[in-house]
Amino acid sequence: MRINKLRKEIKEVDGFIITNLPDIYYLVGFTGSSGILIITQKDAVLFTDFRYKEQCKREIKGADVVIIRKSLLEEVFNHSVIKPLKKIGFEWSIKYSSYFVFKKGLTGKKLLPLKNKVAKIRKIKELSEIKIIKKAAKISLSSFKEIEAIIKPGIQEREIMIELEYRMKKNGAQGTSFETIVASGPNAALPHAKAGTRKLKDGDTVVVDFGIMYNYYASDTTRTIILGKNPKALKIYKIVEEAQLAAIQAIKIGIPLKKLDRIARNIISDAGYGEYFGHSLGHGVGLEIHEAPGVSGKSEEIVTSGMVFTVEPGIYLPRFGGVRIEDMIVVKDKGIEIITKI
């Protein structure tokens, strides 16, 4: 059970106050927009309000539910599950202003910031989670295939975005996992451009970065299309493709994630484009679009079975355009699976 896994990670405190909603969903299944979960070595209590009273009956597993009447935090602080606790953990990532509210409401108790406790468990996906993520990837990719033919000179970036998002939702997405990027021509030199009214032109590089939420899990993929003939764009496309392939081929259990970043970066640097690949190689994907593990030169983790992450090298040439190729990888006990290729 996920809560029990967490209990083993938080032995330094008597109880842990969790406010991060994806973590709360992960631990007890709550999909509402306001709630706080308290985990102790023997109890698990979810505090939420009237709006989610009936929903909780359907969703919550492994925790008691308290429907608050007035103030969420006040009722959490005064509840019997909190009273006997001496050392209380809180998420290191909470707002500074929240910390003051905690401090005031929990006077006489020792407060300890806890870092990445749930993230550490979440980064190793269970088979049931991998199944959902694979489905999310499949829906996004098949939707992209359905609209790929409209990516031609004359169409606006925005129109492509709208068509793709429509198909993704029609095919089962709850929504997008981030704002779909369609960046053409010089706009493609901006790794996180917004889809605008620019009309595609012959010779453009067109970067389409898209993903969905499906059953509360995210997908993330990028494809780059070169319209017509553009030898320079084709050249950088091949370098990015080679960098991605080399990094993917190097993935195996035990290899440091930063090594994957280095492998891809070396290929791009050796080709003379090192300064134009300014972001990390990838990131974990799960309940959130960006989560652990980070796949960058700074990452201190090693590839572990159950990890799901992206491999997305890119080259961005100011005023010219850009190329990014992004796929999602699942690490299995034996080997890996690229789940965004269909």
Contacts with Mn ion, residue ranges (CB under 5 A): 220, 310
For residue 249, the minimal CB distance to Mn ion (Å) is 20
Cβ distance to Mn ion smaller for residue 205 or 310: 310
Q: At residue 20, what are phi and psi to the nearest 5 degrees?
A: -70, 115
For residue 281, the minimal CB distance to Mn ion (Å) is 10
Cβ distance to Mn ion smaller for residue 72 or 190: 190
The answer to whether residues 35 and 22 touch, using CB atoms and an 8 Å cutoff, is no
Cβ distance to Mn ion smaller for residue 109 or 283: 283
Cβ distance to Mn ion smaller for residue 40 or 221: 221
For residue 312, the minimal CB distance to Mn ion (Å) is 5
User: Nearest to Mn ion by Cβ — which residue?
Assistant: 220
For residue 178, the minimal CB distance to Mn ion (Å) is 8
For the record, the structure tokens of 226 come out as 């070169």
Q: Which helix (H) or strand (E) holds 196?
A: none
Task: Give 193: exposed, middle or buried? Use CB within 10 Å, 0-12, 13-18, 19+.
Answer: buried
Beta bridge partners of 156: 199
Note the maximum CA span of the chain: 71
For residue 155, the minimal CB distance to Mn ion (Å) is 24
Q: Strand 87-91 relative to strand 15-18: parallel, antiparallel, unpaired?
A: parallel
Cβ distance to Mn ion smaller for residue 49 or 220: 220
What's at 302, amino acid-wise? I
Compute CA 342 distance to the chain's CA centroid, rounded to the nearest angstrom. Answer: 21
